[in-house]
């Protein structure tokens, strides 16, 4: 029989364990961000000091050099164009695809199509990288337009999985009521189902923006002349030395756009992830 003291001790240890894990996780997440911002404001002479030490003098010179260095604004423009178009294309295609897959998964063709798409989750990018480049070269798509198409195609597995799971959780009575009112499948989707999908759309939108904006490997193997921000930042690393001050200043600047997107969509993200991954 458990005494009152033992019960209190168990509750205390349970709370202590929870808070310990939360604090440890927070430190792991915040530490790289802290180090990035701290280094971005350091002058080159401060780099020889302890890496966690505050700057002797806070300076914006690193940011000024990054912004005035040739190629930054072109790289920013390319990253913005690729991210916006790829995200829009992904949302436009995957939402309606997930709706028809979720509503018709009892049919063999749609069930096969669903598993055909989500099996891509288990295939590492390194496996398809070389065939993708060979195919892109043969089609003349080793450029910005080809990169956008590849990003859209590679986003299918995760987005279809999350969105289809969400759609399967929406009662079919909604579709039947819309059909009685004279709505066809397309009109039902755009006027009724799509607004209900706003949490999972916001979630996949943020995941897509982060994935495309921060991607380094795919632009590296696809683009021949143009550069994105990750490729531009990579130029701060040479054979013999890495200019950490400028590189971290560029990292800090590159974090701003996705953070803005996340702040606008944050209230939908947890709800959308939970609904998309669990329902169905």
Residue 116 lies in a domain: yes
Question: What is the token pair recorded at 57?
Answer: 């003098």
Residue 196 lies in a domain: yes
The per-residue pLDDT for range 153-183, each reduced to its tens digit, is 898 898 999 888 888 888 888 878 888 878 7
The per-residue pLDDT for range 5-59, each reduced to its tens digit, is 677 777 777 788 888 888 888 888 888 888 888 888 887 777 666 667 777 777 7
The total number of structural domains in the chain stands at: 2
Contacts of 250 (CB under 8 A, 6+ apart): 66, 72, 229, 232, 233, 236
Residue 112 has pLDDT above 80, yes or no: yes
| 28 in the same domain as 73 | no
Residue 57 lies in a domain: no
With H, G, I as helix, E, B as strand and everything else as coil, classify residue 237: strand
pTM reported for the whole predicted model: 0.80
Residue 101 has pLDDT above 80, yes or no: yes
Mean pLDDT of 86-107: 89
DSSP label of 54: P
The per-residue pLDDT for range 123-148, each reduced to its tens digit, is 888 888 888 888 888 888 888 999 99
| 128 in the same domain as 34 | no
Residue 52 lies in a domain: no
The per-residue pLDDT for range 176-211, each reduced to its tens digit, is 888 887 878 888 888 888 888 888 888 888 889 889
Q: Which helix (H) or strand (E) holds 56?
A: none
| 233 in the same domain as 176 | yes
Residue 81 has pLDDT above 90, yes or no: yes
């Amino acid at each position: 029989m458990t005494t009152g003291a033992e019960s209190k001790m168990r509750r205390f240890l349970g709370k202590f364990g929870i808070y310990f894990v939360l604090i440890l996780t927070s430190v792991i997440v915040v530490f790289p961000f802290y180090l990035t911002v701290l280094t971005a404001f350091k002058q080159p002479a401060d780099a020889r000091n302890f890496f966690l030490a505050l700057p002797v003098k806070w300076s914006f010179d690193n940011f000024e050099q990054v912004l005035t260095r040739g190629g930054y604004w072109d790289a920013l423009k390319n990253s913005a164009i690729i991210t916006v178009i790829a995200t829009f294309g992904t949302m436009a295609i995957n939402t309606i695809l997930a709706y028809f897959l979720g509503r018709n998964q009892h049919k063999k063709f749609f069930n096969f199509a669903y598993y055909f798409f989500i099996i891509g989750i288990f295939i590492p990018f390194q496996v398809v990288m070389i065939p993708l480049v060979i195919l892109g070269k043969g089609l003349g798509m080793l450029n910005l337009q080809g990169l956008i198409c590849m990003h859209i195609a590679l986003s299918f597995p995760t987005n279809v999985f999350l969105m289809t799971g969400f759609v399967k959780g929406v009662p079919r009575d909604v579709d039947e009521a819309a059909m009685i009112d004279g709505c066809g499948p397309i009109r039902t989707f755009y006027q009724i189902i799509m607004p209900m999908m706003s949490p999972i759309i916001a979630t996949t939108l943020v995941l897509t923006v982060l994935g495309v904006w921060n991607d380094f490997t795919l632009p590296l193997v696809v683009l021949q002349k143009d550069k994105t921000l990750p490729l531009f930042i990579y130029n701060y690393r040479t054979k013999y030395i890495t200019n950490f001050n400028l590189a971290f200043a560029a990292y800090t600047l590159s974090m701003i756009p996705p953070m803005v997107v996340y702040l606008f969509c944050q209230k939908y993200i947890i709800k959308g992830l939970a609904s998309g991954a669990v329902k169905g």
